[in-house]
């Protein structure tokens, strides 16, 4: 294990990562960033599916795979071979966490379901990420799911996009990423409970649950007031003006979230008529009359550049910001100052850049240390730690059990 993990809060925690694609690897990367020793178990033929996701590729490496697999060690292991199962049992017995995102029932059929693993290692935290969860209606728990499916079923696209347009998914894979975040939370909660009880437990994360959790006040509107939230484009259901607005040379976002800010806003625009207009007197009034409100402010906002407005709004304490492209975001000086675009040395690519660690701890910060591993890059090292000598490893490789 790389001793550069010594400063992370999860130093000494071993994670057996059987997951692939995005939700599970996002979770295991978060744990690895904070010092956990993550052993990424992949099939010897091909490995993680995302190694082939693309374009784009960089000299044969998938940028998708590179995004969420840093700080891990790769063990290429055939889980269906008897010898591969023997290796996996050794890993289970030594692990603190097992992470998987197979369809419910798949690992049970291989003999590595939660009950079997907990019997061998009662302290094991066993985290499962799936589309619809391991508990509930069997007609749903057995089903597969990808991000676009779960976004749609979670209600997000019904709220996203132009008012008169079709439903629109979020551009980023939020169903996967949110599930990875909740899986990280669940693992940490279970590890904390284990400190008190001495026992591990099963963490069951459903992608659908994660999407529903994002609805917050939108769900509450329906559950408690019987109001179905409409699609409002870039507007807010309960605050105005709160949207994207056209300036002279582009677009900016404004969030005039209370009446005090509204007064400042009208003063800055030199529009006392707006402040005196009864249709816009209070926030509920402005929400009810948002069409008239936006028509009234549009000509004034179109008179200055985005940068000019941002500077003026910032000086007045009015929340505003530019709408950036991905290249602009990743070159933003504040993100660069916070180390959010780290560069890692890579054995074949020279340097790999990625998004950084979004949680900053003052004393045990963790961080991006090692690049995403090549398939089976650490097979010999991991097997050696389990007690396999060179001859035994060679025999497993000859039999195709490892790579």
Pick the CATH number of 3-214+332-398 from 3.40.50.150, 3.40.1590.10, 3.90.1640.30, 3.40.50.10540: 3.40.50.10540
For the stretch 27-85, pLDDT in tens is 999 999 999 999 999 999 999 999 999 999 999 999 999 999 999 999 999 999 999 99
Plot region of 397 (φ>0 → left; ψ -120 to 50 → alpha; else → beta)? alpha
54: left (phi over 0), alpha (psi -120 to 50) or beta: left
- The answer to whether residue 49 is catalytic is no
Can you read off the two tokens belonging to residue 256? 């005039």
Question: Is it the case that residue 275 has pLDDT exceeding 50?
Answer: yes
- Topology of 242-322 in CATH? formyl-coa transferase, domain 3 (3.30.1540)
Identify the pLDDT of residue 7: 77
Q: Using CA atoms, how far apart are residues 286 and 284, in angstroms rounded to an integer?
A: 5
| Tens-place pLDDT, residues 151-166 | 999 999 999 999 989 9
pLDDT digits (tens, 9 = 90+) for 346-400: 999 999 999 999 999 999 998 999 999 999 999 999 999 999 999 999 999 999 9
pLDDT for res 335? 92
pLDDT at site 2: 43
Q: Which of 33, 48, 78, 176 is catalytic?
A: 176
Kindly state the percentage of the chain with pLDDT values over 70.
99
Q: How far apart are CA 10 and CA 184, in angstroms?
A: 12
Distance CA 332, CA 335 (A): 5
Give me the residue label for tokens 């806003």.
265
Structure-block tokens of residue 82? 């008897």
Q: Containing H/E element for 203?
A: strand 202-206
Q: For residue 142, give the DSSP letter.
A: T
φ, ψ for residue 253 (rounded to 5)? -100, 140
Would you kindly state where each structural domain of the chain is located, as residue ranges? 3-214+332-398, 242-322
> For 315-352, what is each residue's pLDDT tens digit?
999 999 999 999 999 999 999 999 999 999 999 999 99
Q: Residue 4: what pLDDT?
A: 44
Type and span of the H or E element at 350 = strand 350-353
């Amino acid at each position: 294990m790389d001793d550069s993990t010594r400063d992370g809060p999860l130093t000494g925690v071993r994670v057996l990562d059987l997951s692939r694609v995005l939700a599970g690897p996002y979770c295991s990367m978060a744990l690895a960033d904070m010092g956990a020793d993550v052993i990424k178990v992949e099939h010897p033929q091909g490995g993680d599916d995302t190694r082939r996701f693309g374009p784009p590729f960089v000299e044969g490496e998938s940028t998708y795979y590179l995004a969420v697999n840093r700080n891990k060690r790769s063990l290429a292991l055939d889980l269906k071979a008897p010898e591969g199962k023997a290796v996996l049992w050794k890993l289970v017995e030594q692990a603190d966490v097992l992470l998987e995102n197979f369809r419910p029932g798949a690992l049970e059929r291989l003999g590595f379901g939660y009950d079997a693993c907990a019997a061998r290692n009662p302290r094991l935290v066993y985290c499962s990420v799936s589309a619809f969860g391991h508990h509930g209606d069997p007609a749903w728990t057995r089903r597969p799911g990808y991000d676009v499916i779960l976004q749609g079923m979670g209600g997000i696209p019904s709220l996203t996009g132009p008012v008169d347009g079709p439903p629109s998914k979020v551009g980023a894979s939020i169903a996967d990423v949110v599930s990875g975040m909740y899986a990280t939370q669940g693992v940490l909660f279970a590890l904390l409970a284990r400190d008190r009880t001495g026992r591990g437990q099963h963490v069951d994360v459903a992608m659908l649950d994660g999407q529903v959790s994002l609805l917050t006040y939108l769900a509450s509107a329906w559950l408690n007031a019987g109001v179905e939230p409409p699609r409002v484009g870039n507007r807010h259901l309960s605050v105005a003006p709160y949207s994207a607005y056209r300036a002279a040379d582009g677009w900016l976002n404004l969030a005039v979230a209370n009446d005090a800010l509204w007064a400042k806003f009208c003063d800055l625009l030199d529009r006392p008529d707006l402040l005196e207009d009864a249709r816009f007197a209070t926030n509920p009034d402005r929400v009810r009359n948002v069409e008239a409100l936006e028509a009234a402010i549009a000509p004034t906002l179109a008179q200055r550049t985005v940068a000019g407005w941002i500077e003026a709004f910032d000086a007045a304490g009015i929340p505003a910001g530019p709408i950036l492209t991905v290249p602009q975001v990743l070159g933003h000086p504040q993100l660069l100052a916070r180390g959010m675009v780290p560069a890692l040395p890579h054995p074949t690519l020279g340097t790999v850049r990625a998004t950084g660690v979004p949680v900053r701890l003052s004393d045990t910060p963790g961080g991006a240390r090692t690049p995403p591993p090549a398939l089976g890059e650490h097979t010999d090292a991991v097997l050696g730690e389990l007690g396999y000598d060179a001859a035994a490893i060679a025999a497993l490789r000859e039999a195709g059990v490892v790579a």
